[in-house]
């Protein structure tokens, strides 16, 4: 018996003897305290039984009659029960905790097994440790074909470098934002997946990665369909702009010629009226020309986004007596894909229309920044702002549905920040690659 147990055995034997001699409840409380101390020190039940056996033998060796022996045994039984109460309570609590843990695990397993998203875990050496049944439903692979194997061959070859980079970042304790990767299905097709990954920790140490993957095939199809629709709308807008500029312009020119031929035949009072008509026709011609240029901005097609935005800002500022500044940052002056330039231009155009109609602003700033992976555009005004946060269903009246659809079709996003009487800021972010 080690020294700690020897000390505990001595105290136990002394307390038992005092209880046998009639000390009463104070000795029983001592028994409970000794049991609690033994439990806290990690003394096992077998060691407690040995201590109790020794103490009982010592007490029985002191008795002289049969009556004293019976009395000692009854007292010792009560004393032993009291000293084991902390062990009994600990055992019951352990049973309750284990039952709750089993129930929690069963509930977690039920959620994981019935989830429509793929839930998986990876080891620190990039091996697949577990996957839920959704993996088989989505990809067609059997889980047994991949458990214990490297996860990278499941990823589309073009996405593997980025997947490996994200995996290492998560192992370092970093939690990346939502990202997309192509997943190889057993059929040979590539499934577009949206991923969330977080470090998998054990004993305060990162031992792997816990991730959730969602099949976004339907979303990608909808984005492609919306992108094609926007392209078709752009073509239709170009056709209408052509009709306004050329056909309507030719008709107005014919009217000008006819009026010029008619003017000499009219008396002086009618000529003055004719001059007013010609002036009105000229205003109409200018308005049609401006409208056709807004519908089909040739500056955007020929020179690119920034010259087109500066041209747009100049016209809006002149018509509405606003101060509009346009600035750009970034280190890549090359042209962007036409769909991206068109989406940012049209969205900025719609934002300026909202400023003119609703904001009551005096100054507007437009800032474009092109990064390595995305381009952002900020439209900031000093108007009345919004009295409350804008809900999705309220965006129809402000023309924001068109902005959402344009940038959303390209995998981008937008948000609005505003405070009453502090203006509003519209932020657009569009990835340079889908």
CA 246 to chain centre: 49
CA–CA gap between residue 155 and residue 74 (Å, rounded): 73
pLDDT band at 338 (very low <50, low <70, confident <90, very high): confident
Q: Is a pLDDT exceeding 90 seen at residue 20?
A: no
pLDDT at 260: 78
Of 130, 136, 132, nearest in space to 148 by CA: 130
CA 90 to chain centre: 43
Of 234, 224, 245, nearest in space to 345 by CA: 234
Q: Is a pLDDT exceeding 80 seen at residue 110?
A: no
**How many other C-beta atoms can be found within 10 angstroms of the C-beta atom of residue 90?**
14
Highest mean pLDDT among 12-21, 101-110, 211-220: 211-220
Output 61 or 256, whichever has higher pLDDT.
61
pLDDT at 343: 87
Q: Is a pLDDT exceeding 50 seen at residue 431?
A: yes
Output 190 or 330, whichever has higher pLDDT.
190
Burial of 186 (0-12, 13-18, 19+ CB in 10 A): exposed
Low-confidence winner among 233-247, 315-329, 368-382, 411-425 (lowest mean pLDDT): 233-247
pLDDT at 191: 93
Phi then psi dihedrals of residue 125, to 5 deg: -100, 25
Highest mean pLDDT among 12-26, 269-283, 407-421: 407-421
pLDDT at 393: 47
Output 333 or 377, whichever has higher pLDDT.
377
> Under a CB-based contact definition with an 8 Å cutoff, are residues 256 and 248 in contact?
no
CA 56 to chain centre: 67
CA–CA gap between residue 48 and residue 54 (Å, rounded): 10
> Under a CB-based contact definition with an 8 Å cutoff, are residues 149 and 131 in contact?
no
- The mean pLDDT value for 75-85 works out to 83
Low-confidence winner among 80-94, 191-205, 285-299 (lowest mean pLDDT): 285-299
pLDDT at 399: 64
Residues with Cβ within 8 Å of 198's Cβ and at least 6 positions away in sequence, in order, are 170, 175, 209, 210, 211
Distance linking the first and last C-alpha atoms of the chain: 73
> What 8-state DSSP symbol labels residue 125?
T
Output 219 or 237, whichever has higher pLDDT.
219
Low-confidence winner among 11-20, 300-309, 311-320, 329-338 (lowest mean pLDDT): 329-338
Question: Roughly what angle, to the nearest 10 degrees, separates helices 305-320 and 268-295?
Answer: 140
> Under a CB-based contact definition with an 8 Å cutoff, are residues 388 and 351 in contact?
no
Percent of the chain at pLDDT > 90 equals: 24
CA–CA gap between residue 350 and residue 363 (Å, rounded): 16
pLDDT band at 245 (very low <50, low <70, confident <90, very high): low
Q: pLDDT by residue (tens digit) across 381-423? A: 988 887 665 554 444 445 677 788 788 878 888 888 888 888 8
Q: Is a pLDDT exceeding 90 seen at residue 129?
A: yes
Of 303, 267, 263, nearest in space to 279 by CA: 263
pTM of the model: 0.49
Q: Torsion angle, CA of 162/164/168/170, rounded to 10 degrees? A: 70
Of 67, 61, 77, 63, nearest in space to 16 by CA: 77
Q: Does residue 18 sit in helix, strand or coil?
A: helix
Q: Which tokens sit at 386?
A: 């919004």
CA–CA gap between residue 55 and residue 51 (Å, rounded): 6
Strands 179-184 and 424-431: unpaired
Q: Concatenated DSSP letters for 136-193?
A: HHHH---GGGTTTSBSGGGB-GGGHHHHHHHHHHHHTT-----EEEEEE-TTSPEEEE
> Under a CB-based contact definition with an 8 Å cutoff, are residues 374 and 305 in contact?
no
Q: Which residue do the tokens 């000093």 mark?
A: 382
pLDDT at 275: 79
pLDDT at 332: 62
- The mean pLDDT value for 125-152 works out to 92
């Amino acid at each position: 018996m080690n020294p700690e147990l020897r000390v505990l055995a001595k105290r136990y034997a002394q307390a038992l003897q005092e209880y046998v001699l009639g000390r009463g409840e104070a000795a029983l409380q001592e028994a409970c305290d000794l049991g609690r101390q033994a439990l806290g020190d990690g003394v096992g039940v077998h060691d407690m039984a040995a201590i109790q056996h020794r103490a009982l033998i010592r007490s029985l060796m002191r008795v002289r009659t049969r009556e004293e022996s019976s009395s000692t045994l009854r007292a010792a039984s009560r004393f032993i029960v009291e000293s084991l109460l902390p062990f009994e309570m600990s055992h019951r609590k352990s049973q309750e905790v284990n039952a709750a843990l089993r129930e929690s695990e069963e509930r977690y397993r039920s959620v994981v097994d019935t989830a429509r998203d793929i839930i998986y875990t990876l080891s620190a050496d990039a091996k697949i440790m577990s996957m839920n049944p959704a993996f088989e439903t989505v990809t067609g692979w059997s889980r047994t074909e991949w458990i214990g194997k490297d996860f990278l061959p499941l990823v589309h070859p073009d996405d593997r470098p980025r997947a490996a980079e994200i995996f290492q970042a998560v192992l370092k304790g970093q939690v990346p934002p939502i990202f997309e990767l192509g997943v190889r299905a057993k059929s040979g097709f590539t499934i577009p997946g949206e991923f969330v990954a977080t470090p998998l920790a054990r004993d305060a140490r990162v031992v792997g990665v816990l991730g959730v993957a969602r099949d976004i095939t339907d979303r990608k199809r909808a984005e492609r369909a919306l992108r094609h629709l926007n392209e078709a709308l752009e073509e239709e807008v170009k056709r209408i702009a052509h009709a306004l500029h050329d056909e309507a312009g030719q008709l107005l020119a014919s009217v000008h010629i006819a009026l010029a031929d008619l003017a000499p035949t009219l008396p002086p009072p009618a000529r003055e009226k004719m001059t007013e008509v010609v002036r009105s026709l000229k205003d109409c011609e200018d308005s049609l020309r401006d409208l056709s240029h807004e519908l089909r901005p040739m500056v955007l097609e020929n020179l690119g986004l920034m010259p087109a935005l500066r041209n747009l800002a100049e016209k809006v500022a002149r018509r509405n007596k606003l101060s509009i500044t346009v600035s750009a940052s970034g280190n890549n002056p090359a042209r962007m894909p036409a769909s991206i330039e068109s989406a940012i231009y049209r969205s900025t155009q719609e934002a300026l229309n909202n400023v003119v109609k609703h904001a009551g602003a005096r100054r507007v700033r437009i800032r474009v920044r092109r990064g390595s992976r995305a381009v952002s555009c900020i439209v900031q005004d000093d108007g009345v702002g919004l009295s409350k946060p804008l809900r999705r269903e309220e965006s129809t009246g402000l023309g924001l549905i068109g902005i959402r659809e344009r940038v959303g079709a390209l995998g981008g996003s937008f948000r609005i920040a505003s405070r009453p009487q502090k203006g509003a800021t519209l932020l657009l972010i569009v990835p340079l690659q889908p």
